[in-house]
Amino acid sequence: MWRLIRRRHEIEAEIAGEAAAAAAVTAPPAEPDLQAAAFFDVDNTMMRGASIYHFARGLATRGMFTTSDLFKFAVGQAVFRLRGNENPEHIAVARETALAFVAGAKVDDVVRLGEEIYDEVMADRIWGGTRALAQSHLDAGQRVWLVTATPVELARVIAQRLGLTGALGTVAESTDGVYTGRLVGDLLHGPAKAEAVRALARREGLDLTRCTAYSDSANDLPMLSLVGQAVAINPDTELREHARKHDWPIKDFRTGRKATLTALPIAAGVGAVAGGVAAGIALRKHYRGPR
C-alpha cells in the first residue's frame, strides 16, 4: 500500500517537473556584438577593497605570514590613500622588492590559492551593482574584461568566477611554470591599462568608440578617456569632479559604513604593489622556509 502511494507521488512529481519546464520562458540568446566590449577595473570598482589585500589575507589565514605583516600592509595602503600621490621611485622599489620575493614560486600554486581564497574571502565582496552592469553587457552579446594592476593569474580567477570573458593584469615572467622574479613590461597601472586595452582592441577587432570602461580612480583616466562611454563607479574625489565636468555617468554603490571601510584596503599604484610584497613574503616563507 505504502509503495503504491510513494510511487504515485513520484509520478506526480515527474509530471509537475515536466509541466514546469514546458511552461518556462527562456529568453533567446543575444546576437554577439563583436565590436563592442566593456572594461572593468577591479579594486573598489568590481570588488570592495583591494583584491591583492584579500589574497594576502587569505595567505595569512593559512599561516604563510603573520597578521602583523597584514596589518602593516593595510596601514601602508591607508597612508598612501591619504597622501594621494604616487612617487615613481617608490613604485619601482616596491615592485622590485615584490618580484624578488615571489621569485621561485610556482604559477600553478598561485592560481590554486587564488581560487581557494576568492571563494573564501572575495566572493562576498563583489559589488552587486557593478556585477549587474557587467552582466548587462554580457546579455547584450558584448565581451567583458577586467583590467587591473593585480597579477594576471589572480585577475583571471576573478573573471572566471564572475563568468566574464577574461582579464588583463600585471604579467610576471615565468619559466617552466616558475616565476623568475621579473615583470613582462611594467605594472598594469595608469597609462599601461590604456595601452593594454588598445592592444586587445587591435587583436579582437573592437571599435573603442563603441566600448565602455568603468573605474573608481582618477588613475584610470587614460583608459576611461580611450572609450566611447566612461562610467565612474564609487569614484574618488578627482574622478567624481572629472566625471561631472564631462557628463560621465556616476554610480556609487557604497552606503554608510561600507563607504568608510573601502578606504583602507584600496589598491592603487603602490598599494597594489605593497599587496604583492605581502603575498610575496608569504610565498617565499612557504617555499623556502625561514632563513
Q: Which residues contact 194 (CB under 8 A, 6 or more apart)?
A: 222, 223, 225, 226
Relative to beta strand 229-233, strand 178-183 is unpaired
Contact 60/67 with Cβ under 8 angstroms?
Answer: yes
- Among residues 43, 69, 216, 220, the one annotated as catalytic is 43
Exactly one of 41, 69, 220, 236 is catalytic; name it.
41
Strands 178-183 and 172-175: antiparallel
> How far does CA 83 lie from the centroid of its chain?
24
**In terms of C-beta density within 10 A (0-12 exposed, 13-18 middle, 19 or more buried), how is residue 236 classed?**
buried
Between the CA atoms of 200, 44, 191 and 166, what dihedral angle is there, to the nearest 10 degrees? -10
- Give CA separation, 108 vs 89, 112, 164, 172, 273, in Å: 31, 6, 21, 13, 21
Q: Find where cell 583602507 sits.
A: 264
41 assigned to active site: yes
Active-site residue set? 41, 43
